[in-house]
Amino acid sequence: INMQRFVFSFLCFRFKDNRKDDIWLVDFYAPWCGHCKKLEPIWNEVGLEMKSIGSPVKVGKMDATSYSSIASEFGVRGYPTIKLLKGDLAYNYRGPRTKDDIIEFAHRVSGALIRPLPSQQMFEHVQKRHRVFFVYIGGESPLKEKYIDAASELIVYTYFFSASEEVVPEYVTLKEMPAVLVFKDETYFIYDEYEDGDLSSWINRERFQNYLTVDGFLLYELGDTGKLVAIAVIDEKNTSIEHTRYNFQFGHMDGNDYINTLLMDELKVPTVVVLNTSNQQYFLLDRQIKNAEDMVQFINNILDGTVEAQGGDSILQRLKRIVFDAKSTIVSIFKSSPLMGCFLFGLPLGVVSIMCYGIYTADTDGGYIEERYEVSKSEIESQEPTEESKEQEPRSGDALVPTVQGPKDVLEKKKD
């Protein structure tokens, strides 16, 4: 009942007519998708929370297999796909599928692109609330135009603010104005166009904290930065010294399920793996890590080429990935919906089997008829010299010989 009240599946014509008048947060799903079924209770909580706080964002979901034309219009290629629709714009959600993260995304994207900070109190409030955020300081300038362009592209990931120089905290030292700053990890960094290059690329690199709890979504986003990503694969439920000594690294991941799928390998827990997101290579430990010095030496060995790289994006690895993904997809379908799996794969196999059987039996019958025809023809030909010899026998003797049937009679008998 609550699902019907707050998170509803809307009709095609109603959505097309009214969607630009409101802000929509939509889950495009497929009924057979296992990940979609896992998201469903979380999506219900999102709808209830957004309704209770009076958010202007309307929450809904759509069966993309039934309304494929609308799904194609918004570029839906996988399930589930979460999009926030705001006027003519559609923003993709690529974060963790948790209630808090999805609601945070909806608040961030549905609001102003660049939020003003009118006072120091507001600035301090934003610092306490957000772990990473960007601030433009100054008046109108070409840098501000670039900042607005970057914000329109990256608002799905982080917050963008603007402020005057008087609002900035006293510990911030600005050498020149205007300026773009990122605040994170209890410090700040200033954008330098000559050293950091394109502003959007710099923001995309700096939107992450220095140390992260890594999951599949975050690891995918880190791929755009081109950085080497060192991950400690641990068991968070195990608090022994053996498991906690790796927590000083760049990031950690709870469990090895996702990393095993990514590397198509079986890693033991705990361990450390370094991923090169630019070429899909990865590096495994070549030593036992006992302290920080061992870890630094391991990273140095990666940089100087001592540690052998594995994986990559070669043709062989791509073929291996295709086979692995196909196998994983088939197993996932059968686990989530055995009947659907039997239908999807059993029906084509049954049709192919019937076709092969029909072709085989047709060839067999044709060969039998042809063989029977050849045998009959050979028998007739063998009768001809016999009959000629029997016709000549009365001429050589006086004895009466019974009349021998001609070839035509033999054919008629065989026909009967």
CA-based diameter of the chain, in Å?
A: 145
Residue 162: CB atoms within 10 Å: 21
Do residues 39 and 29 lie in contact, with contact meaning Cβ atoms separated by under 8 Å? yes
Cα separation of 414 and 408, whole Å? 10
Q: Is 246 helix (H, G, I), strand (E, B) or coil?
A: coil
Which alpha helices (H) appear in 188-271, and where do they start and end?
193-196, 199-206, 216-222, 241-244, 257-263
Cα separation of 229 and 263, whole Å? 14
Cα separation of 275 and 272, whole Å? 10
**Would you call 342 a catalytic residue per the annotation?**
no
Do residues 240 and 286 lie in contact, with contact meaning Cβ atoms separated by under 8 Å? no
Spot the catalytic one: 12, 36, 342, 356. Answer: 36
**Would you call 356 a catalytic residue per the annotation?**
no
Q: Is 351 helix (H, G, I), strand (E, B) or coil?
A: helix
Cα separation of 123 and 163, whole Å? 9
The catalytic residues are 33, 36
